[in-house]
Every structure is written in structure tokens, then in C-alpha cells.
Amino acid sequence: MKNFIVDGENLTLQNLMHIAYHPGLKLQLSEESKIRMKKSRKWVDQVQKQGTPVVYGVNTGFGSKATVSIDKEKLKDLQRNLIMSHSAGLGNPLAIEVVRSAMLMRVNTIAKGYSGVRIEVAETILDMLEKGVTPWIPEQGSLGASGDLAPLSHMALVISRGVVRDKSEDSGQAYFYDAKKKDWILMSGLEAMKKAGIPRIVLEAKEGLALNNGTQISTSILAVTLHRAQKLLKLADIAMAMTLEALEGISSAFREEIHQLRPHPGQISTARNIRRLNEGSQLLDRHPEKVQDAYSLRCHPQVLAGVRDALRYIGDIVHIEFNATTDNPIILPELSEKNKAISGGNFHAQPIAFAADHLAMVLCEIGSISERRIFRMSDKHLNSGLPSFLIENGGLESGLMMAQYTAAALVSENKTLAHPASIDSIPTCENQEDHVSMAPIAARKALDILQNVEKIVAIELFFAAQALDLRLKQNTGHAAKNMFGKGTLCAYNKIREYIPFFTMDRPLYPHIESLVQLLQNGELLTAVEGVIGELS
């Protein structure tokens, strides 16, 4: 992708993530969106000029101050004051890709033409995305209604300036992408915009509210998490397939005939992935006296069925949200009545909160079943003839013992994190905003769980590669290419490019971290899919 047209209608997760991770792409508004934006803006301009009718957030105060009328001479100050006063976030900064995807989503909702915003506001954000200016946004402070007010205000601080003054301390902070160093450098928003050659704008009536009143931060965190979860799900299948071979498991549990009798789409897809990964393996079905494996092996397709199917549902939710109008009030220029602004609640992020909590829950199960397989490989009573903790000189050497502890700790942490945020609500704004979604908290928890599960799956891959090497030693004279499955061989070879077979104790953490990086950068998945084709 070299360029992308923003039209308010056709943003996908794939396009969103590509743009989020790749500054420099040419971005522009569609001509149709410009026409729509001009129509709604024309009416807001009339209200700004005439002072009537009364429109929430245009010539009134905000929240419980909606009954306070604002003089038309002060409407620009009203919007700038909104952004400055609402920049109240705290905590660690959101990741660059989260902020960039939120920026693009914000433009996409403005491009629908119901926000009453000038074209130059949307184009300023697109220029920032293209030229590598990313606002610094703290992760804490939003309730997910009325939109993600605090974090989006931090974004708008960088974009906008005061009518008279333009001081760095009022411009927030932003990262500027240094293309030569290929690195993001933090500085004031004013300095970052100057480096990029992008003028900051004076907000007109409605524009501050249109920038900070929406679900884009919550949705962006969820979108980034979902995108990574889709990849992690395939990697979990790769780890499972390697473990199945390492434990000399039984292939019949993955036969198509079984899964067609209970045709959950995710179950069928998972079983198919395992069959493809293990195709040609000489380590499976070696013990006719053993008729079935433990649940953590045999039931992998059934457990991940719920995960895969949940991800499809969550994908539908975020796709709707990408291409929705989520601010308030909404300007409908085609209305016949004089007041063409309608106040509603499209900023309320409850659908996103529910989806994020659902994602958190199903991600926990990927880690939980993976840890049980890790434990199985470590236990000499359960691992079909391998040494304790996958080290040959047990007692003197502890091998991979402690890595299983780490996986267990992460699984337990995830159970705590999985408590739903979406069922909580705290009234705010003098009880005008008396029910909120907590969507950003739900989304952040889902991301935390995802990162923990990536580590758990990396540990399973660590164990499986070690166990497979021990199997080779038991089968003297047989090479990996003649013993392992087509897909598992590729995964094993890629892992061995980064971490060695352990013959004695050494610190484990650098090797686990290397595997986590191998998962996150996509190199392992790309290598496997390059051999056996794309996994479901």
C-alpha cells in the first residue's frame, strides 16, 4: 500500500494496522467525504455566526454545563478551553501504533460528514500520520463515555492552538519520526508540528468537541489487540503441533470426520491447522497401546474453537465502530427542521467494552491450555520417556524447570486481569454522565493479557523445541527432516536460529525474550506459512 483514500465507509482492520505501523503513506480524503463535510460545516458556520439555534457544545457549555449559553464571540475560546481542560490523562503513554490507529479512525468518522468539522481539520490529522507526528497520550483517564475525552484531548492539544497564544506548554507532547534514525523522538507538540511543516489550527465552533468526543482510543487498543491475537492464535497452533510430536501424541483426535460432527467453524479450522502442521511426522501414533491423549492435547481444537469464533465476532464489532459516527451532537444537514443537530449517545463505548472483556476471557484460555502442555513436557511421569525438566543431567542441572513456573505465574495473573471492566460504572459530571462503559480499561486489560499469553506460547515453543531435540537423540541416526512434520520442522528450524539446545543450565530469560520477539515480529509465522501456506 502506497496511498489510502479515507471515505468514512470502508476502513478495515488490515488497512488500519498497515497505516498504524507505517508512517509515510500518502493519505487523503475522498471527494465524496469532502462534499458531505462541507454540507454539515456550512450549517455549523451559520450557527456560529448567528448564535442560534442553541446547539450543545457549539454555543453551550459541556456536560452538566449544557444549560450555560456562550456568547458567539467566544465560541473559538470555548473549543480551545475544552481541549486544554480535558487534557487530564495520567500514566504510561499509549503505544505509537495505538495512537496512530486512533487518529485514522477519528478522521474516518469525521469523513462521514456528520461532525460539522472543516476539511482542514481532518487533513491536518492525515498530514500528521503521513509525516510522522504522533501525539503523546497517557493511557489512564478515560471512562469510555462521553467518548475517550481525556486521551483524545491530548491528541487535540497537538493539533490545535489558541486564538492568540501558541506556547509549547499548551501544545502537549508528540513523537516525531526521524526517518534517518528510524526512531520516534519525543518533544513538545509545537516542535513536532514545526519539524513536520504542519501548521497547527485554531478550532472553530464544534471542532474541539468533534475531536475529543468518540470511542477511538478504546477501539484502537482493542483493534491492535485483536490484530495481534489473530496472529497469536496461529502461533498457538504451531506450538501445540510441536508439543504433540514431542510427546509422541495421537493424530486421530484431529481427523476431519470428528470435527464435522460438531461443526463449529473455529474447531474445524483449528483441527485442519494441526493436521497441516504435523503432516509427514514420524513421531505421532507410535504407541498403539495408548488410545487417547490428555485433554490439553486432544481437546485443543475444541478449546480454540471458542477463541477463533469469538475473534470473528469481535472483528465484526470493531469494523462497525471503525466506520461509524461516534461523536455528539450529530449534524444532519438534510433535516427539514431549523435545528439540524441531534444529541444522542453514539460516543458510549459499551459495545467495545463488552467485546474487549470477551477478548480478554478467550485469550486467557490460549495461555491456560498452553501452560498445561508445558507442565506435561516438564514432568517425567507425563512426557512419554523424556527426562525431568527436559535436561539430561537432572539434579545437578535444573533445565527448564523454572520456565514452567513463569508460565504458571502468567496464567494466574491473567485470571485476575480477566475480571470484566464492562460491568462497572461510576457517575461523573454532576451526575449528567451517570452511566459509563469503562471500555478503555477493558481494552487495556485485554492487551495486557495478550502480552502475557505471547510469553506463555513462547515458553511452550521453547519446551517443544528442547523436547524434539531429545527425541532425536533417542532416535539415533534419524534427522529432523525425516522425523518432524512439514510445518513443525520449519518452526523448529526457525527457533534454532535464535536459541540453542540446552545441554546444561544457563539463564533462561534471554532465550524466552528472543522467542517472544520472534512471535511478535511475525518472523516465525511467516516462515511456517511460507512452507505450508496460510493457516486458518
The domain that holds 409 is classified in CATH as 1.20.200.10
pTM across the whole model: 0.96
Cell output for 243: 508439543
Residues 86 and 20 reside in one and the same domain: yes
Cα separation of the two ends of the chain: 23
Residues 6+ apart with CB under 8 A from 263: none
Per-residue pLDDT of the chain in tens (536 residues, 90 and over written 9):
789 999 999 999 999 999 999 999 999 999 999 999 999 999 999 999 998 999 999 999 888 888 898 998 889 999 999 999 999 999 999 999 999 999 999 999 999 999 999 999 999 999 999 999 999 999 999 999 888 999 999 999 999 998 877 777 789 999 999 988 999 999 999 999 999 999 999 999 999 999 999 999 999 999 999 999 999 999 999 999 999 999 999 999 999 999 999 999 999 999 999 999 999 999 999 998 989 999 999 999 999 999 999 999 999 999 999 999 999 999 999 999 999 999 999 999 999 999 999 999 999 999 999 999 999 999 999 999 999 999 999 999 999 999 999 999 999 999 999 999 999 888 888 778 888 899 999 999 999 999 999 999 999 999 999 999 999 999 887 888 899 999 999 999 999 999 999 999 999 999 999 999 999 999 999 999 999 999 99
- Domain span at 95: 3-214
Percent of the chain residues past pLDDT 70, beyond the cut:
100
How many domains are there within the chain?
A: 2
Tell me: do 304 and 392 sit in the same domain: yes
Q: How many CA atoms lie within 13 A of 285 on its CB side?
A: 10
Q: Is the dihedral of CA 8, 10, 11, 15 positive or negative?
A: negative
Residues 256, 202 within the same domain: no
Burial environment of residue 471 by CB neighbours within 10 A (0 to 12, 13 to 18, 19 or more) = buried
Same domain, 405 and 461: yes
Domain end among 214, 236, 251: 214
Q: Does the active-site annotation cover 498?
A: no
Cell of 458: 513462547
Same domain for 89 and 203, yes or no, is yes
Contact 427, 434 (CB under 8 A): yes
Residues 6+ apart with CB under 8 A from 345: 145, 328
358 and 251, same structural domain?
Answer: yes
21, 56, 492, 509: the catalytic one is 56
Kindly provide the residue ranges of all beta strands, DSSP E only, lying in 7-60, ordered along the sequence: 26-29
| Residues 229 and 132 grouped into a single domain | no
Task: Label residue 237 exposed, middle or buried (CB < 10 Å: 0-12, 13-18, 19+).
Answer: buried
Would you state the cell numbers that stand for residue 355, as one nine-digit string? Answer: 467485546
- H or E stretch including 451? helix 439-474
Nearest partner of 471 among 273, 252, 292, 249, judged by Cα = 249
CATH number of 63's domain: 1.10.275.10
Reported as a single tens digit per residue, the pLDDT across 426-435 is: 888 877 888 8
Phi (first) and psi of residue 365, to 5 degrees: -70, -30
> Are residues 464 and 483 located together in one domain of the fold?
yes
Phi/psi of residue 298, each to 5°?
-65, -35
Q: Are residues 157 and 287 in the same domain?
A: no
* CA geometry: angle 179, 183, 186, nearest 5 deg: 110
Q: Are residues 202 and 295 in the same domain?
A: no
Which of these three, 214, 239, 269, is where a domain ends? 214
Cβ-contact 534, 271 below 8 angstroms: no
Of 180, 157, 194, 169, nearest to 83 by C-alpha is: 157
Q: Domain check: are 100 and 50 in the same one? A: yes
Q: Is 6 helix (H, G, I), strand (E, B) or coil?
A: strand
The reply to whether 252 and 353 lie within a common domain is yes
